[in-house]
Amino acid sequence: MSFDADLIACAQLVERGDPDRFAATMAAPVEARKVLFPVYAFNVEVSRAPWVTQEAIIAEMRLQWWTDALEEIASGGLVRRHEVVTSLAHVLDAKAARLLQRVVEARLWDVYRDPFEDHAAFSKYIEDTAASLLLAASQALTGDTPAAFRDLGYASGLAQFLRAVPELERQGRRPLVDGRPEAVKALAADGLNRLQQARRERGSMPRAAQPIALAAWQAGPVLKQAQADPRRVADGTLGASETARKARLIWQAATGRW
């Protein structure tokens, strides 16, 4: 599989819509990029689908379109023509397509303004939107879904979600089950525990899957900031400088550690 027009379009979509994952993917081997760019382009498209319209029914229809496209891939039948879907069809098997369907289903929460029912519902949302994405990428790249990616995906997804809290609130959402500083601190600590668990399981991860872990390159620093000072979540000040971020990514790519 070469970098054809569809794959280039996927890379450009990720570059515009998810620059952090774009940087992480560019630090991966070229052969891995051919799998990761379609998966991450899919994520860009699905994550923004609930936000491009004020009409809930239209947003649901957009998400259903992706569910149906993934079903076509999973069933091995005729697949609709679309730059991202066509690229996905080249790299996904049925298991990976089903994992991505979880991502689509979870994004229904973004369509409405209802809060999460409880912490279990919140955790499921993070796992389905973030961990399932890494697991699908791993299945597509290596034919395996290491348990480490479930924990790493959760930690990474939680870090990204905490950074998005101010914007979600501006959009009229209630993103956190409990927004008190002590609750946010505990939430960040839980994410760090999941990150540590992923690190303990790192040895069982196929070497070919290592580039996928680059997508979580900011999880540790962001969660540590949120735990140390939960007010940074509400203030929207989580994250490091551009120089520090680039240095960390280079270090991770060179060492394979995260």
**SS (HEC) of 79-122:** CCCCHHHHHHHHHCCHHHHHHHHHHHHHCHHHHCCCCCCCHHHH
How much is the pLDDT for 1? 57
**Residues in Cβ contact with 90 at an 8 Å cutoff, skipping those fewer than 6 apart:** 1, 38
Provide CATH code, domain 5-255: 1.10.600.10
Q: How far apart are CA 43 and CA 132, in angstroms?
A: 11
Q: Are 81 and 90 in contact (CB under 8 A)?
A: no
pLDDT, averaged in runs of 10, over the chain (258 residues): 88 97 96 97 97 94 98 95 97 98 97 95 98 98 96 98 96 95 98 97 90 95 98 95 91 87
Q: Which helix or strand (DSSP H or E) is residue 77 part of?
A: none
Nearest C-alpha neighbor of 165 from the set 214, 126, 120: 126
Q: How do the domains of the chain map onto residue ranges?
A: 5-255
Q: Please, what's the b/e burial string for 17-47 (b: 16 or more CB within 10 A of its CB; e: otherwise)?
A: bbeebbbbbbbbeeebbbbbbbbbbbbbbbb
pTM of the model: 0.95
Q: What is the pLDDT of residue 257?
A: 84
Query: How far apart are alpha carbons 231 and 179 in whole angstroms?
Result: 10
